[in-house]
């Protein structure tokens, strides 16, 4: 049977083929399913997905000629053990053709990030990188930190390796160029300068302390600096300071001196002797006993915009060159590539990857291995950092593995836990109540899998009822989405912030759902309430365990509990802050921010809006007769 789905985004004439084979879990069945697919394949470039009996994606690959590439999987004797395991699980395949191999490479990276298959090299840390954005949609553009899709009009500078590095640069840029960072709404309503002007971090264009031409000059200098022309900016500021001093304008000279100090700070913290490199990303890979780490340096205009370590998953039995190639393809799925990408080794398809990235970026992208000079020195530095980061990672992993083994012994688990879930509730006298879950595994906290729940049904002054609601909603959904309880979405250990009462509430919920094989543990403060190291661990069989105050395992369990505290309290604060800014008018359908503001400006309070007559509502500026009728009916037609 052949299924044809909608064309992919690369090729309007592309078709998708799916051929299903037997569900028998063995190598022969997998080989037979692949042979059935091979007969339908064209000699065209494209991407193939291997799927198991349930339709879950096992592997995503790309090919210059699909028929030739997929045929290799039918020669099982020549495959590695890893690929033989994959073929044994394969029961169907989906094929998407593309215009060329470069497009296939881009689509492969996109699908790997979407499906996260177990037999592909995966980029674990794929959170979006921060950028600096100079907006271009205002007479006095603001400078700001930006993450995510680049929809706003303006100039983007980055990526920066971390929020810390971009925040430090933003702070220094504000001191240097005095650009505003406030929102347009805040800017519009000012009638006097804010604190940033007083501390010499803004030029106060909101109240006319600088005109449009003067602000444009500051903006031009900022763009020059971010483009790597710091020397030009430094010379200009020095000349202006000298001129101000000669004219006896010592106040202006002092301001320019402070700006020069800020420029010196940025240069000192970011300059790493990258003269002549221009814009480049540098990647070096280190490997030890099957574990691989990749160090990335981001150089823009000779400035160091930070570095970050990555540890790809599923790298066993995969050549190092292939790991680095797959990593780069996935990394640049979200990050715009520079013109130069420096790597520490020859890659099998470097030219193809450069062509694919250049097609997406709209400019030429070249991958190269530096041989001499500044680029060679930078690569040596990246290699040292990659090796040191991997050594730290291995040391941390060894410690974490030992803690997980001790945790399994303490709570009598069959194996060291691969997924630990920790739960807590947060509220203030029952208001803005929510439940929170954090997740930890062998590699540490999995922040992308944290969850929070608004309490909807339980009485918010009943902690036990709130815990029952949170666990009921979490595990009912887990059973619905994954009834076989496989993969990494099902917990091996559940920790509850609370004592025997919380534990009994959780036990009742899981029993109602027919779940009896999840280890539940309540974590409560001991008799010396509030003192660290006196925690009591309540088990389902009634036992209460304690650990020595200097036990590394106790410190780890405290970290888990403190993390769920931090996450729950932070989520509660966000919810409370949002509730403070809420208005009864938010409940009226069809009333957006502009009309809500118009009504409040006209009547003064939401209560006055509610009590107003239809005629009075129609007199409010910016409110049509239809909207006035809608507001009146909402409050009176009940």
d(CA 127, CA 77): 39
The pTM (predicted TM-score) of the whole model is: 0.67
Low-confidence ranges of the chain (pLDDT < 50): 1-17, 19, 21-22, 24, 271, 529-530
At residue 438, the pLDDT reads: 93
| E strands in 36-78 | 46-51, 57-63
Give kind and range of the element (H or E) at residue 634: helix 625-636
At residue 485, the pLDDT reads: 75
Q: Are 272 and 335 in contact (CB under 8 A)?
A: no
Distance of CA 314 to the CA centre of its chain: 20
At residue 14, the pLDDT reads: 40
| CATH number of this structure's domain 16-115, picked from the four choices 3.40.1440.10, 3.40.1030.10, 3.20.20.70, 3.90.230.10 | 3.40.1440.10
Rg of the chain (C-alpha set): 30
Using CB atoms within 10 A of its CB, is residue 580 exposed (0-12), middle (13-18) or buried (19+)? exposed
Structure-token match 């004219």, residue found? 247
Q: CA torsion sign, 625 to 627 to 628 to 632?
A: positive
DSSP H stretches of helix in 81-210 = 81-89, 101-115, 163-177, 184-189, 195-198
At residue 262, the pLDDT reads: 66
- DSSP count for the chain of H helices, then E strands: 20, 20
Kindly report the CATH class assigned to 584-636.
mainly alpha
Question: Encoding tokens for residue 592?
Answer: 């957006």
Domain boundaries, the chain: 16-115, 131-270, 280-391, 420-576, 584-636
Q: How many CA atoms lie within 13 A of 553 on its CB side?
A: 16
At residue 614, the pLDDT reads: 82
Q: CA torsion sign, 309 to 314 to 315 to 321?
A: negative
Kindly report the CATH class assigned to 280-391.
alpha beta
At residue 541, the pLDDT reads: 85
Residue 550 CB neighbour total at 10 angstroms: 8
d(CA 538, CA 554): 14
What 8-state DSSP symbol labels residue 51?
E
d(CA 314, CA 292): 10
* Beta-strand pair 46-51/131-135: unpaired
Evaluate whether 280-391 and 420-576 have a shared fold: yes
Question: Encoding tokens for residue 100?
Answer: 């060329």
At residue 575, the pLDDT reads: 64
DSSP H stretches of helix in 300-427 = 320-331, 350-361, 373-410
What is 420-576's CATH superfamily? UvrC, RNAse H endonuclease domain (3.30.420.340)
CA dihedral (319, 325, 326, 331) in degrees, to 10, reads: 140
At residue 16, the pLDDT reads: 47
- Nearest residue to 275 via CA among 305, 306, 304, 302: 302
At residue 456, the pLDDT reads: 77
């Amino acid at each position: 049977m052949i299924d044809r789905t909608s064309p992919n985004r690369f090729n309007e004439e592309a078709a998708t083929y799916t051929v299903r084979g037997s569900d028998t879990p063995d190598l022969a069945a997998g080989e037979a399913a692949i042979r059935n697919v091979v007969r339908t394949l064209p000699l065209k470039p494209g991407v193939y997905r291997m799927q198991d009996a349930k339709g879950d994606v096992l592997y995503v690959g790309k090919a210059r000629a699909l028929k030739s590439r997929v045929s290799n999987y039918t020669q099982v004797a020549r495959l590695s053990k890893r690929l033989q395991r994959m073929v044994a699980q394969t029961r169907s395949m989906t094929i998407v053709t593309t215009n060329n191999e470069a497009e296939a490479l881009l689509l492969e990276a996109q699908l790997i990030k979407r499906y996260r298959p177990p037999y592909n090299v995966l980029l674990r840390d794929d959170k979006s990188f921060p950028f600096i954005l100079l907006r271009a949609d205002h007479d006095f553009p603001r400078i700001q930190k930006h993450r995510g899709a680049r929809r706003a009009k303006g100039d983007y500078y980055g990526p920066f390796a971390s929020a810390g590095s971009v925040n430090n640069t933003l702070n220094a840029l504000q001191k240097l160029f005095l650009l505003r960072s406030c929102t347009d709404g805040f800017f519009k309503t000012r009638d006097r300068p804010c604190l940033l002007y007083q501390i010499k971090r803004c030029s106060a264009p909101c109240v006319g302390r600088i005109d449009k031409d003067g602000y444009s000059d500051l903006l031009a200098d900022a763009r020059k600096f971010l483009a790597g022309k710091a020397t030009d900016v430094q010379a200009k500021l020095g000349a202006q300071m000298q001129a101000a001093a000669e004219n006896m304008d010592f106040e202006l000279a002092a301001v320019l001196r402070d700006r020069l100090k800020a420029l010196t700070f940025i240069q000192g913290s970011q300059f790493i002797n990258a003269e002549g490199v221009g814009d480049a990303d540098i990647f070096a890979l280190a490997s030890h006993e099957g574990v691989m780490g990749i160090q990335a340096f981001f150089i823009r205009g000779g400035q160091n915009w930070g570095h970050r370590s990555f540890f790809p998953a599923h790298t066993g039995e995969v050549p190092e060159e292939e790991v680095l190639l797959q990593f780069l393809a996935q990394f640049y799925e979200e990050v715009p590539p520079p013109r130069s990408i420096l790597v520490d080794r020859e890659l099998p398809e470097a030219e193809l990857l450069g062509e694919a990235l250049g097609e997406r970026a709209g400019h030429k992208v070249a991958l190269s291995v530096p041989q001499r000079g500044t680029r060679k020195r930078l690569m040596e530095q990246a290699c040292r950092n990659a090796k040191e980061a991997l050594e730290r990672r291995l040391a941390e992993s060894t410690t974490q593995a030992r803690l997980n083994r001790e945790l399994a012994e303490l709570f009598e688990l069959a194996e060291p836990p691969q997924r630990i879930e920790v739960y807590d509730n947060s509220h203030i006298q029952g208001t803005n109540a929510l439940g929170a879950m954090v997740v930890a595994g062998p590699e540490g906290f999995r922040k992308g899998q944290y969850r929070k729940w608004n309490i909807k049904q339980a009485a918010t002054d009943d902690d036990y009822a709130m815990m029952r609601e949170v666990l009921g909603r979490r595990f009912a959904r887990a059973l619905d989405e994954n009834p076989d309880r496989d993969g990494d979405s099902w917990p091996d250990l559940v920790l509850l912030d609370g004592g025997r009462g919380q534990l009994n509430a959780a036990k009742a919920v899981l029993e109602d759902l027919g779940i009896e094989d999840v280890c539940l543990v309540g974590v409560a403060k001991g008799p010396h309430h509030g003192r660290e190291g006196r925690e009591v661990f309540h088990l389902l069989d009634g036992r209460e365990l304690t650990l020595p105050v200097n036990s590394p395992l106790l410190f780890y369990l405290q970290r888990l509990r403190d993390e769920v505290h931090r996450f729950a309290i932070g989520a509660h604060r966000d919810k409370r802050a949002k509730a403070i800014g809420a208005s009864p008018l938010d409940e009226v359908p069809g009333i957006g921010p502009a009309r809500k503001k118009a009504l409040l400006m006209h009547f003064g309070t939401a209560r006055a809006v509610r009590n107003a007559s239809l005629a009075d509502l129609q007199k409010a500026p910016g409110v049509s007769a239809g909207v006035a009728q809608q507001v009146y009916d909402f409050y009176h037609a009940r």
